[in-house]
Homo-oligomer: A and B are copies of this chain.
Amino acid sequence: MEGKNAVKSVIRVATDSAPEPAGHYCQATAWNDLIFVSGQLATSADGEQNADKPFETQVRQALGNILAIVREAGSDPEHVLRITAYIVGVENWPVFNQVYAEIFGDIRPARAVVPVPELHLGYSIELEAIAVRRPVQA
């Protein structure tokens, strides 16, 4: 049992609803009410690779992975604070924005879109997120 002076641990989030980490990281860490979600590619939760699928499909899968982890961590789309989107090819911006808007609906987290020259495993999109766990108001 932890006493009053025990050092609090960082929570490491794991869910089968998103792909297993492909490297030395966990799907997300949480500390107090903040959640930090690792970069998510468009791999399916069962490990299927989708780098050759259309960009729109990749956006849906990567964002699905993010939201599955966010939910596992005790949050929801309304409590996503910021998304950083790394995309290959800035010409994909309109499709990215359209699919993203469809999924988030009325919710508009802070966001940055960062074009990159390439991504791991040949993917065209990687998303990361900071969210808050739903606390009750004091």
A residues engaging B (CB < 8 A)? 2-10, 12, 21, 23-29, 31-34, 36-39, 78-79, 81-84, 86, 90, 93, 97, 100-101, 104, 108-120, 126, 128, 130, 132, 134-138
**Chain multiplicity (copies):** 3
A114–B10 touching, CB < 8 Å:
no
Given A114-B116, A117-B116, A118-B115, the answer on whether A108 and B25 have CB atoms closer than 8 Å is: yes
Known: A110-B29, A113-B120. A137 touches B36 (CB 8 A): no
Please tell me if the beta carbons of B39 and A112 are within 8 angstroms of each other in the complex: yes
User: Which one of B23, B31, B111 lies within 8 Å of A39 (CB-CB)?
Assistant: B111
- Enumerate chain B residues within 8 angstroms of A39, measured Cβ to Cβ: 111-114
Residue from the list B2, B8, B29, B108 in contact with A82, Cβ < 8 A: B29
Contact B111 A25 (CB under 8 A): yes
- Residue pair B112, A128 in contact (C-beta under 8 Å): yes
Can you list 28 residue pairs at the A/B interface with Cβ under 8 Å? A2-B137, A4-B136, A5-B137, A6-B136, A6-B137, A7-B135, A10-B79, A10-B132, A23-B113, A24-B97, A25-B109, A25-B110, A25-B111, A26-B110, A28-B110, A29-B81, A29-B109, A29-B110, A32-B33, A39-B114, A84-B112, A86-B112, A90-B120, A93-B120, A112-B128, A114-B126, A116-B116, A116-B117
